[in-house]
A and B are shown apart, each in its own frame.
Chain A
């Protein structure tokens, strides 16, 4: 792929981000609901206080003034002040990025690896008992409600077996003797959210992988390869899989892009301090600056992941390369 094409793709990506930003800005504001409601629906607050708060957040100005101020600040790298947390948005969001990427990212990786493996095995052994069982497993985990699955795992692993803590990221208030002790504690807290999340995700990967691989395996060139006398394993790895991976790359790229968006349900069950929950709460409180901050992060991440997928296509698929 030439440099020119890459530059063009990046330019499109930037444009996309800009359009999404404007769209988000306007979308949040046409939502009914006053951001001051959650802050100031307080019998103790006086009208003067409400006015002062409005002024602090610039809510007393005309909509177009607010709009241009937002973009001016954005260019300066200032994401604004969260209505709820009374702290810079960048700081509030930054504190949740690591926990989110850690939990959702790990779950994605596990789900992708296991999902692809299951999909390949199922397609390869199509029609056998193994296929039926793995297909059944994928369908069940794909369709099971996340919330229910999480609670079942809590009952099983926390209440019955007492293996893992029920919630949080670290044992609250504990002073750790060493970084290693902290890591162990983090690991124990990570197991159930990651397990829940990856179980839910495995199905999607496994089913997609199985379907595309089955399609590929029925292509003429596979028959040709067999006719040439190649070994089955060689045909699978060298002829079938590279083609079957193309749609997978797209799905993986999109999902990796959404990693920073967190996972509201899993974060809620396990009180995991992630971005999904933050986004949900910011929406409920009409915390515009915080919402915009989180959406900006998600937008950039999704768009970039797609650009990367496009570029990596060029290396995987010779048709795109030329």
Chain B
């Protein structure tokens, strides 16, 4: 007993040492010498009571804290793939062009541009006097270096599609970049690839690039990296920024493992804005007069994928190769009920692969539209030769195979699981039996890649430019992103054509036809265009807006709100 109590004392001592260690500066890495004490100018902040008096100057800095349910993966833009990091890169780095609040491409590092008559050579004039955060001058060589680096190494997963088709980048002088493309490049003015400083990245060996931690990102953007801690990243205003300067001095991105705590933090004023909230919290926040909460449309959709693989290696039910069954499934699903119940109204019923409101969105005509219609679904199945011959409520094909399919959902996604159950009950009405199966996303991915599934529910995030999302269903993506193993020659042809069509009207027609094909063939049943619930403390902040009109505050491909949010006087 005596000995063991000594052991306890030892453990206590070790723990106290640990506390001391943490206190003495573990965990947080600050780049700049912190100015005496940076204050957080938050009205109603009770924190200050615990601090020694007289060491804070609340009038000095305007600080805005954003909570998110996702954490930063890496600060390296070549290998990161998280939305929250993408957002961070937009503040730190500049690109040739950026989007304004109307999703129009406007000058950023490039001030003006022109194109050759054959549309293959684009000349960009660069902003004068731009400096990197470390004081080095920015030149056209940095642009060439960044593009070449991403194209040569295949790194920069979030940006590579912006660069496809570029054959050469020339730098006739320090302020001119000439981009040569193989064929006309339709999305050349949608290229928001962040420009990296050559004087830093050129020193990194090729095999080190992917694991380069980039612990001190240096960009030209309106904000400079300040520090990273156990669950936050902080950026501060760049005083030398060439463009209009923001009102906020510092943004702090905090990740929450638990969205309930995040909502509480917002109500308590520990944070100023929040992303990725859920509908239960939305109700709670709506009751708070200090909080402005919205359910904003995001780019992307949730889909029911159906196995269309015709190869004999396919593990899918061959009955699903019949387009009529796939169409009947869509007719039989009450999407509005899924939106209302599974997504508690946070979203809109889906039809085609590009979001409504986007210039390229195709709205099916009244004749094409497959709205929820049990009778039409039954009639289509009946006419295609699927009848319930044995009276068990499930239809059979001519050879007696019942219409019974597995529907896989990701088990820890409650909304998807509920959607799956609703679909099962809807389709039972039309005589199709659905077995709901839950897996984790890794296991579902395995099934999809190997083609051993009937149906699944998952989602895609999309871009403004249609190329990325439409590229998912091209034949060469089979075994990759083409989850339903869909293959259509006309679709593939149109995909290539639209990439090189510079006339927006003509390009729109092509993308329309592509969406029409997918809607008709129904390898994907677009269930819902889902929303992101976000909130801002309106008692403290003003100057922000939803982007686009029915969109979100943050995570929307623009930095408009970061630049325009200002404290309420």
Seen from chain A, the residues whose Cβ lies within 8 Å of a Cβ on chain B are 31-35, 37-50, 52-53, 56, 81, 84-88, 95, 98-99, 101-102, 105-106, 109, 112-113, 151, 154-155, 158-159, 162, 165-175, 177-186, 188, 241-242, 245, 249, 256, 267-273, 277, 284-286, 312, 315-316
Contact = CB atoms under 8 A, between A and B. Distances in A.
Nearest to A94: B26
A285 B256 CA distance: 18
B11 A105 contact: yes
A34 B472 contact: no
Interface in B1-57: 1, 3-4, 7-8, 11-12, 15, 18-19, 21-28, 30, 34-38, 40, 46-47, 50-52, 55
Nearest to A181: B51
Contacts of A52: 153-155
Interface in B204-241: 210-211, 213, 226-227, 229-232, 234
B223 to A, nearest CB: 13
Nearest to B164: A46
Contacts of A45: 157, 160, 481
Interface of B: 1, 3-4, 7-8, 11-12, 15, 18-19, 21-28, 30, 34-38, 40, 46-47, 50-52, 55, 63, 65, 73-74, 76, 79, 81, 153-155, 157-161, 164, 210-211, 213, 226-227, 229-232, 234, 250, 252, 254-258, 260-262, 264-265, 267-268, 270, 439-443, 445-447, 449, 460-463, 468-469, 471-472, 476-477, 479-481
A34 B442 contact: yes
Contacts of B270: 165-166
24 contacts: A31-B442, A32-B446, A33-B445, A34-B442, A35-B442, A37-B446, A41-B481, A43-B471, A44-B463, A99-B22, A99-B230, A102-B22, A106-B15, A162-B268, A165-B270, A166-B270, A167-B265, A173-B250, A173-B254, A183-B19, A256-B11, A270-B261, A312-B7, A316-B1
A34 B445 contact: yes
Contacts of B22: 98-99, 102, 186
B449 to A, nearest CB: 7
Contacts of A165: 47, 270
B210 A56 contact: yes
A268 B264 contact: no
A111 B37 CA distance: 38
A245 B24 contact: no
SS of A interface (majority) = helix
Contact of B443 (A33, A39, A88, A99): A33
Given A44-B158, A49-B157, A102-B22, A33 B37 contact: no
A146 to B, nearest CB: 12
Nearest to A112: B8
Question: Which 9 pairs across A and B sit closest by C-beta, in order of nearness?
Answer: A33-B442, A37-B445, A172-B232, A173-B252, A273-B230, A175-B34, A32-B443, A173-B234, A183-B23
Contacts of B24: 179
A174 B65 CA distance: 11
Nearest to B15: A105
Contacts of B25: 179
A102 B230 CA distance: 14
B66 to A, nearest CB: 10
Given A31-B442, A37-B446, A312-B4, A267 B161 contact: no
Contacts of A272: 257
Which interface residue of B25, B158, B232, B257 has the most chain A CB atoms within 10 A?
A: B257
Contact of A174 (B40, B52, B446, B476): B40
Nearest to B26: A98
A158 B4 contact: no
A167 B65 CA distance: 14
B228 to A, nearest CB: 10
A162 B46 contact: yes
Contacts of B3: 312, 315-316
Contacts of B161: 44
A32 B453 CA distance: 14
A213 B145 CA distance: 73
A183 B19 CA distance: 8
A175 B34 CA distance: 7
A127 B3 CA distance: 32
A179 to B, nearest CB: 5
Nearest to A248: B4
Nearest to A36: B445
Contact of B50 (A39, A112, A184, A286): A184
A273 B50 contact: no
A33 to B, nearest CB: 2
A149 B492 CA distance: 55
B98 to A, nearest CB: 18
A172 B468 contact: no
Which interface residue of A38, A43, A85, A98 has the most chain B CB atoms within 10 A?
A: A43
A50 B477 CA distance: 12
A186 B441 contact: no
B157 A167 contact: no
Which interface residue of A112, A173, A180, A184 has the most chain B CB atoms within 10 A?
A: A173
Given A101-B15, A175-B38, A95 B230 contact: yes
A171 B443 CA distance: 37
Contacts of A50: 480
A167 B27 contact: no
Contacts of B79: 86
B157 A40 contact: yes
Given A34-B446, A109-B11, A183-B19, A173 B227 contact: yes
A102 B19 contact: yes
B257 A271 contact: yes
B30 A154 contact: no
Contacts of A88: 211
A256 B442 CA distance: 32
Contact of A284 (B1, B440, B477): B440
Nearest to A252: B4
A160 to B, nearest CB: 11
Nearest to B471: A43
Contacts of A101: 15, 18
Nearest to B19: A102
A112 B93 CA distance: 51
Contact of A41 (B18, B73, B439, B445): B445
A41 B268 CA distance: 37
Nearest to A315: B3
B154 A34 contact: no
Contact of B480 (A47, A85, A188): A47
B258 A316 contact: no
Which interface residue of B15, B38, B250, B476 has the most chain A CB atoms within 10 A?
A: B15
A49 B209 CA distance: 14
Contacts of B480: 47, 50
A98 B21 contact: yes
A258 to B, nearest CB: 14
Contact of A179 (B23, B258, B441, B442): B23
Contacts of B230: 95, 99, 168-170, 273
A216 to B, nearest CB: 13
Given A46-B154, A168-B231, 15 more contacts: A32-B442, A38-B442, A52-B155, A86-B76, A86-B210, A154-B264, A168-B230, A168-B232, A170-B27, A172-B254, A173-B227, A177-B37, A177-B51, A185-B50, A271-B258
Nearest to A273: B230
Contacts of B460: 43
Contact of A168 (B46, B155, B254): B254
